[in-house]
Structure 1
Amino acid sequence: MSLLLNTCPALPRALSLLTLSLALSACAIGPDYERPEINTPAQFKQAVGWKAATPSDAYSRGEWWQIYGDAELNQLVGRLNVSNQNLAASEAQYRQSQALVRGARASFYPTIGAGVGLTRAGQGGGDSALSTSDGISVSGGNAATISKTHSATLNAAWELDIWGKLRRQLESSKAGFEASAADLAALKLSLQAELVQTYLQMRVLDEQQRLLDQTVSAYARALKLTQNQYNAGIVPKSDVSQALTQLKSTEAQAIDLKWQRAQLEHAIAVLVGVTPSELSIASRENAVPQLPMVPTVMPSQLLERRPDVAASERRVMSANADIGVAEAAWFPDLTISGSGGYRSSSYADWFTMPNRFWSIGPQLAVTLFDAGARSAEVDRSEAVYDQTVAQYRQTVLDSFREVEDYLVQLRVMEQESVVQQQALDAARHALRSLENQYKAGTVDYNSVVTVQATALNNERNNLTLLGSRLTASVQLIAALGGGWQVEQLQAEQKAEE
C-alpha cells in the first residue's frame, strides 16, 4: 500500500508527515542492548599465593613481549606485526567492516541522481504514410508515427527513519565493526604468543645443544683416559667399549637437536612473513631469559582485557540490534522523493520553461501480507541473539579456565623446579665423586656411566622444565589479554566517525 503526492497542494501534507516522523524518530523499535549476565568470581582460584608483579611501562602499552628482555625477539615481533599474512587477511576483513559502517551511516542521507536521455518511439503501422516529430508527414489511411524525446532529469529520495530501522542497522554495523577490530587484536595476540613461545623454545634448544656439545667433549676426554688406562693394563676392554658407547650415544642426541631447532626457525620465518631460506637466527650464549614475574588481574577485569571476549560480546550487540531491524519491518516506510528537469521533442527548445517538469511528495508503503515472512525473520533474529549470548558466556568461561590453568601450571612447575634443581645438584655431586673414585681405581666404569647418564638427564630435564615454565608464562600473559584494553575499540570507533 502506498500513498504518493506529487502536486503542489500536497507539500503542506508532506511537511506534516515529516514533522510527525521527526517526533517519532526519538524512539527505535527493538530491545536496547544490555550486557548478558555473567557470574564473575571475586578472584582466581589458583591466584592464592601468586606473586604478582607490577606491569612495566612497555607491558602497559601492549608490547608485552618486552618483559623477556630480548632485543632480537622484539625485532621479530615487530616484523610479525607488519608482514604476517594471516594478520594481513584479518586486517582486510577489518576494513570490510569499516566500509559496512560507512554504508549504514550513508542511509541516513538523501540519495540524488541525474540522467540525460534521447528516446525514439513509434505508434501505429503501415507503409502508405509516415509522420515524424521532425515535421515530415505523408497522409494515408494507415499512417505510422515516430516520436523523439530529449530529457534531462534530477531525482532525489530520502527514507525517513521513523521507527529506528536505519539506526538499528547502523548499531548492528558498528558492533560488527568493533567485533572485527577485536578479532584482529585477538589474532595478533595469538600470533605474537606463538612467535614468542617458538623463539623461547628455540633458545632452550640452543642451551641444550651447548650442554650436549660440552658433554660430548667431556665424554671424549673420558674415552681417551680410559683408552690410556686400558693400554696400561689398568682397566679391561669393556670399559673402553662403554666409554665409546656413551660418547656416540650423546653425539647422536646432539645431532637430533639440529632438526628440531631448524623446524622452530622455519616456523618463525613463516610467522614473520618470509620463506625459511630468508631467515637465519644465530645461536648465542646465555640467550634463555629469566622467567619474568607476570602481572595478573582481577577476574572482573578480564572481560575488558581479552579481545576474544570483547569480540564475542560485540556480536551479541549486533544480534540484539538486528532484532530491532526485523521488528521494524512490521511498520510502514516513509520516503520523500522528488524529481525535476526538462523534456522536449526537439533539441533546439529543450531547455525552455514550457518543457520544464517537476514532482515532489511522500510515499508511505507497508506490506499487508507476506505469509509469515516477517514473523519468521523476527524469530530467526531472536534465535541468533540467543546463540550469540551462549557463545559469549562460553568464551568467558573458557577465558577463566585458561587463566586458572596457567596459574596453577606455573605454581606447580615452580615447586617442581626446586625439587628438580635439588636432584641436579645431587647428580652433579655423585658424578664428581664417582669420577674421582674411578681414577683412583676403586669403582668400575659401569658405575661411572650410570651416574653420567643420570646427571645428563637431570641437566636436560632442568632445561626442559625451564622451557615449559617460559611457555606457560607466555600463555598466561596471552590469557590475560596481553597489554590490550577494551578502550581501544572505542578509540577506533571514534576515529571511524
Structure 2
Amino acid sequence: MIKSSLLLLSASLMAGCTLAPRYERPQAPVAANYPAEAAGTAARPVELGWREFFADARLQALIAAALENNRDLRTAALRIDEARALYNIQSADLLPTLNGQVSNSNARVPVTLSPTGLSTVSRSYQVGLSLTSFELDFFGRIRSLNDAALAQYLATAEARQAAHIGLVAETAKAYLAERAFDEQYVLAQKTLEGRESAYRLAKQRFDVGASSALDLRLNETLVGSARVALATLARQRAQAANALALLVGKPMTDLPTAQMLNSQGIVAELPAGLPSDLLTQRPDIRAAEQRLIATNANIGAARAAFFPRISLTAGVGTASNTLSGLFDAGSRTWSFVPQLAIPIFDAGRNSNSLDLAHVRKHIAVADYEKSVQVAFREVADALAARATLNEQLDAQRSVGEAQADRLRLADLRFKNGVASSLEVLDAQRELFNAEQALVQTRLLRLTNAIDLYRALGGGLQENAASAAK
C-alpha cells in the first residue's frame, strides 16, 4: 500500500497537464506609428537613468529621498511581499503535507453497555505520520491556480515599478512647479517695488498739479494688481512646496542650491521609437498583461473542476493501549484511504464558475487594451506638445524682449513729453504679463519632457550603468 501511494504521489508530481487555454497576447489596438515626429538625438528613455535626465543636483537629492521615504511607494513594495506570500501559500498545494501526530484516547464503558456486565476503562496511545487529503493533480487544477498566483505576483511587482516611475516624474514636476512659482514671485516682487516707486512719483506730480487724478488712480491700480499677484504667488509657492514635501516623505535640509528653470538641462530630444516598444517598456502594460495571464490560468482551474478529483489520506505509526508499549514489536499501524470525487450535480456551480472565469478574462483583455491605448495617447500627446513648445518658447521670449524694449521707448517718450503716462503704464503691465508667461512656458516645456520620459518607461533606473545590468 505504501509503495502504491508513493507511486501515485510521484505520478501527481510529474503531471504537467493543464486545461488552461493557450495564452496569446492580444493585438495592440493602436496605430503602427505615432502621429508626430518620434525621432530624437538622446539615448532611449529606458536606458537613460534619472540622474542623467535631471541635471539639477537639488532635484536629484529630492528624488533619491522620495524613492526612500515615500509612503505610497513603500506600500507598493509591501504589496509585492504580500503577493509573494500568497503565491508561496498556493504553491504549497503542489506538494503533500506531512504531519506528525501524537494522540491519547481514554474511554469508560458503563455497566449497562458492557458485554461482561462490568464497567471498563480503555486507553490507547498512538504516534505516527499522516498525509492529509493530498489531491493528485491529474487535470491541472492546482497547477492552474499556482500559475494564476504567480502571474498576480508578477503583476504586483510590475505595478511597483510603475509606481517608482510615477514617483520620479511627479517629484520632478512638483519641484519645477515650486521653482516656477518662486521665479514668478520674485518677478512680482520686483514689479511691485517698481510700481510703488512710480506711484510715489505720480503722487508727487499730482500734488503739485503736474498730472491728473486719472494718472494717479492708474498707478494705484497697478500697485494693487501687483500686490494681488504677489499674494497669489506666495500662496501657490507654499502649496507647491507642501506637495513636494509630501512626495519626498521627510523634511529636507542642507539641499544644494536650486537652479533656474532655464538652467535645468533636462533632456528634451528623446526618441520615442515605435508604439509596439511600449509593450515591453511600460511596467503598467506588463502588469496588465500579467493580470490577463492570471485570468487565463483561472479558466484552466475552472475547467478542471468538471473532472474527477483524486485525493489521498494515509498514515503510518505505532499504537498501544499502554504508553510503555508504543514501540514494542507488533505495534506498527498504517492506513491508506484513496478518495475519488466525481461531480454529478452541483446546481450549475461549475458551469457558472467557468462562465465567470471567461468573463473575467474578457475584462482583463479590455483592461490590457486600454492600458496600451492610454500609453499610446500619453506618448502621442507629449510628442505633439514637444513639436510646438520649442517654437512657443522662442516666440514668448521674443514677446518679452519686445515688451521690454517697448517700455524703454515709452519711458523715453514720456520723459521727452511726447507720450502720456498711460502709454508707460500700459507697457509696464504688458511686460509683467509677458515675463510671467515666459516662466509658465518654460515650465510647460520642462514638464512635457518629463511626461515623455515617463510615458516611454524612463525613470526606473538611477543611471545608465544600472540600466545595463
State the TM-score, normalizing by the size of structure 2.
0.88
How far has the Cα of 1:292 moved from its partner? 2.9
How far has the Cα of 1:364 moved from its partner? 3.4
Query: What does residue 167 of structure 2 align with?
Result: 191
How far has the Cα of 1:71 moved from its partner? 1.1
How far has the Cα of 1:396 moved from its partner? 1.0
Do 1:206 and 1:283's aligned partners in 2 also have CA atoms closer than 8 Å? no
Larger RCO of the pair (alpha carbons < 8 Å, separation 6+) = 2
Query: What does residue 122 of structure 1 align with?
Result: 108
SS of the residue 1:29 aligns to: coil
Deviations, residues 66-100 of structure 1 (Å, cap 9, x unaligned): 41311111111111112111222222221111112
Query: What is the distance in 1 between the residues matched to 2:261 and 2:384?
Result: 26
Does structure 1 residue 151 correspond to structure 2 residue 126?
yes
* Greater mean deviation of Cα atoms: 85-94 or 375-384: 85-94
Query: What does residue 137 of structure 2 align with?
Result: 161
Query: What is the distance in 1 between the residues matched to 2:48 and 2:142?
Result: 36
**Where in structure 1 are there 5+ consecutive unaligned residues?**
1-6, 132-139, 486-490, 492-497
SS of the residue 2:68 aligns to: helix
Deviations, residues 13-71 of structure 1 (Å, cap 9, x unaligned): x5675676577x24322212111122443310122xx5513227xx5456336413111
Deviations, residues 365-423 of structure 1 (Å, cap 9, x unaligned): 33333222112111111111111111111111121112112221232333322332232
1:349 alignment partner AA:
G
Query: What does residue 177 of structure 1 align with?
Result: 153
When the two chains are superposed, the root-mean-square deviation of aligned CA atoms in Å is: 2.9
How far has the Cα of 1:433 moved from its partner? 0.1
State the TM-score, normalizing by the size of structure 1.
0.84
Query: What is the distance in 1 between the residues matched to 2:258 and 2:201?
Result: 31
How far has the Cα of 1:172 moved from its partner? 0.8
SS of the residue 1:352 aligns to: coil
Query: What is the distance in 2 between the residues matched to 1:106 and 1:62?
Result: 41
Query: What does residue 286 of structure 1 align with?
Result: 260
SS of the residue 1:311 aligns to: helix
Counting matched residue pairs gives 459
1:152 alignment partner AA:
V
2:376 alignment partner AA:
F
Query: What is the distance in 1 between the residues matched to 2:96 and 2:13?
Result: 15
Do 1:159 and 1:336's aligned partners in 2 also have CA atoms closer than 8 Å? yes
SS of the residue 1:107 aligns to: helix
SS of the residue 1:159 aligns to: strand
Higher alpha-carbon Rg: 1
Call closer, same or farther: CA 1:51–1:209 in 2, change over 3 Å.
Answer: farther
Matches within 5 A, 1:10-409: 11=3, 14=5, 25-47=15-37, 50=38, 52-55=40-43, 60-61=46-47, 63-64=49-50, 66-125=52-111, 142-157=117-132, 158-226=134-202, 234-236=210-212, 238-274=214-250, 284=258, 286=260, 288=262, 289-290=264-265, 292-295=267-270, 296-360=272-336, 362-409=338-385
**Where in structure 2 are there 5+ consecutive unaligned residues?**
462-466
Query: What does residue 134 of structure 1 align with?
Result: none
Query: What is the distance in 1 between the residues matched to 2:254 and 2:216?
Result: 40
Call closer, same or farther: CA 1:20–1:148 in 2, change over 3 Å.
Answer: closer
1:286 alignment partner AA:
M
SS of the residue 1:172 aligns to: helix
Sequence identity of aligned pairs in percent?
A: 29
2:60 alignment partner AA:
N
Query: What is the distance in 1 between the residues matched to 2:435 and 2:255?
Result: 24
Query: What is the distance in 1 between the residues matched to 2:243 and 2:11?
Result: 63
How far has the Cα of 1:314 moved from its partner? 0.7
How far has the Cα of 1:120 moved from its partner? 1.0
Call closer, same or farther: CA 1:112–1:432 in 2, change over 3 Å.
Answer: same
Do 2:148 and 2:298's aligned partners in 1 also have CA atoms closer than 8 Å? yes
SS of the residue 1:122 aligns to: strand
Query: What is the distance in 1 between the residues matched to 2:155 and 2:203?
Result: 71
1:143 alignment partner AA:
L
How far has the Cα of 1:309 moved from its partner? 1.0
